[in-house]
Amino acid sequence: MRHTPDAVMLFAAGFGTRMGALTKARPKPLLSVAGKPLLDHALDLTNAVKPTKTVVNAHYKHSQIEQHLAERDVFVSIETPKILDTGGGLRHALPHLGDGPVYTGNTDAVWHGPNPFDMLRTAWQPEIMDALLLCVPRAQAIGYTRNGDFFIDDDGRLNRGPGMVYTGVQILKTHGLCTIDKSVFSLNLLWDKMDAEGRLYGLTYPGTWCDVGTPEGIGLAEAMLDEQNV
C-alpha cells in the first residue's frame, strides 16, 4: 500500500439545488466562473500534484459531465440509480483510485492564494495522520454564511466546533470506508472514527476561498479573481 497520495477524487454528483434555475439544464460543476467551468477550475488545481489517477463522480445530468471530460484522462464514476453522498461515492470509486491515501476535492469553490493540493502534499504525515483537511478562517471564506466546522488545536488536530471552515479539499486514507455498513453516507462518519483515534488533522489555508454554492457566489468568486489579477 502506498503512503503518499497519487490519486484525486473530485465530487461532482450533487443536484446544485441552491443554484435554482441555473442548474435546471446543467449540473453545477459545469457552471462558468470567470469564463471557465467550476469543474475545470478544480481540475487545474490538481495539476500541481501530478496525479496518476483522477476520478470525477457524477449523478445529476451525468451525461453532460461525461461529455465534458470525454477527451481528458479522467475516469467518471457514475452513481446510479441513487446518489451516494461523499463517503458512499468515494467508496464506489475506490477500484479506480487504488488502496492508498487520496486527495479529494469539491468542485464548487474558487481559490485565491497558494495551491491547496500542493499545500496538503507538503504537510502530509501519514505516520500520524489518517486525514488532513484544509480549512480556512471564517473571515477568509467568501460567500460562506454558516458558523464553521472545526477548530485546530496546538498539535494540528481537528475538533468539531464553529470557527474554521472546511474547504472541501483533503488527503484521506480510505481503508476505514469498508467498516461503514451503509451504501449512502457522508465522509463525516469516517472523520468521526479518525477523530476518536486522534488521527484527524487540519491545515490552515492562508489565502481566500469562495463558496460558489448560490448564484450570488458566482459574482463573489469572479470579484475575488479580479482582485488576484490586478
> What pLDDT is attached to residue 228?
65
pLDDT-derived band at 24, boundaries 50, 70, 90? very high
pTM: 0.96
Q: How far apart are alpha carbons 214 and 196 in whole angstroms?
A: 34
Architecture of the domain delimited by 7-229: Alpha-Beta Complex (3.90)
Q: For 146-159, write each residue's pLDDT tens digit.
A: 999 999 999 999 99
pLDDT digits (tens, 9 = 90+) for 156-172: 999 999 999 999 999 99
Domains of the chain, by residue range, sit at: 7-229
